A and B are shown apart, each in its own frame.
Chain A
Amino acid sequence: MTKHFSLSDTPFDTASERAKLLDDRVGGFASFEGWVRDHNDGRPVHGLRYEAYAALAEAEGERVLTEALSKFDILDARCVHRVGDLAIGELAVWVGVSAAHRDAAFAACRFVIDEVKSRVPIWKHERYADGDAGWLHPHQT
């Protein structure tokens, strides 16, 4: 079975991920990239760490991608999420979706990143410029 979701403990190459989704049927490709920014909630951030419950994160991530493939008229979809220590400016998460038409590609890409953010057991630990640090456990919105 093809794996659609994976965790990566090292930087990964988006061009090769994207190439896996393209073939002659594809008329539209949409992607989303999440990057480590230098601030959160008005506080300067120096770096962060992602921790996952790997077994469950991979299973739940795969379910999100399977749902996207059944819910939208798309050809293929993949998502890679980093774990471990990341510096400012590093790629944290990548979603790619291929489809015959753009509407389904955009909608499925949005669905995947939203569901991954709300469901997959990955946690962000931020280190702030003032020396403080902490885990983010956001309230559901």
Chain B
Amino acid sequence: MMALATVLYFASLRDAAGVASEPVDADGDLSGLYELLRTRHGFALPRERLRVAVDGEFARWDQPVRAGSEIAFIPPVSGG
């Protein structure tokens, strides 16, 4: 089942995507979605170096993409 969700991009992922967010129509899980978007936008970072969040909370990569959700891919952080 395809689900329409919103993806948020930060830092180098936003630079590569050229947008801060975009709608995606996807099926499967969050890891599959990242691989799809990585191919589309040419993200340098492999999934193993990222975390993923759904609706403002960290999530598991094997979670399915839910319709209406807000998904954020979290590159390695560098605050402090």
Chain A residues in contact with chain B, CB under 8 A? Answer: 34, 50-53, 55-57, 59-60, 81, 92-93, 113, 116-125, 134-140
In the complex, chain A residues whose CB is within 8 Å of the CB of B10: 51, 53, 121, 123
Residue pairs across A and B with Cβ atoms less than 8 A apart, 28 shown, are A50-B79, A51-B10, A51-B11, A53-B10, A53-B53, A53-B74, A56-B57, A56-B72, A59-B56, A59-B57, A60-B58, A81-B80, A92-B80, A116-B79, A117-B79, A118-B77, A119-B77, A120-B77, A122-B77, A122-B78, A122-B80, A123-B75, A134-B12, A135-B12, A137-B11, A137-B45, A137-B75, A139-B49
In the complex, chain A residues whose CB is within 8 Å of the CB of B72: 53, 56, 121
Q: 1/0 contact trace for B33-73 toward A, CB 8 Å?
A: 00000000000010001000100111000000000000010
* Min CB gap B64→A, angstroms: 20
* Min CB gap B13→A, angstroms: 9
B window 1-34: CB within 8 A of A: 8, 10-12, 15
Which B-chain residue is minimally distant from A117 (CB atoms)? B80
In the complex, chain A residues whose CB is within 8 Å of the CB of B11: 51, 123, 125, 135, 137
* A123 close to B78 (CB less than 8 A): yes
In the complex, chain A residues whose CB is within 8 Å of the CB of B58: 56, 60
Q: Report Cα–Cα, A124/B45, bound state, in Å.
A: 16
Contact A53:B8 (CB < 8 A) given known A34-B80, A139-B76: yes
* Min CB gap A90→B, angstroms: 14
* Min CB gap B29→A, angstroms: 20
**Residue in B10, B11, B15, B79 with the greatest tally of chain A CB atoms within 10 Å:** B79
Could you say which of A56, A120, A125, A136 contacts B56, with CB atoms under 8 Å apart? A56
Q: Report Cα–Cα, A140/B76, bound state, in Å.
A: 8
Q: Apart from A34-B80, A122-B77, A137-B49, what 20 extra A-B contacts exist at CB < 8 Å? A: A51-B10, A53-B8, A56-B53, A59-B56, A60-B58, A81-B80, A113-B80, A116-B80, A117-B78, A118-B77, A122-B79, A122-B80, A123-B75, A123-B77, A125-B11, A135-B78, A137-B12, A137-B45, A137-B78, A139-B49
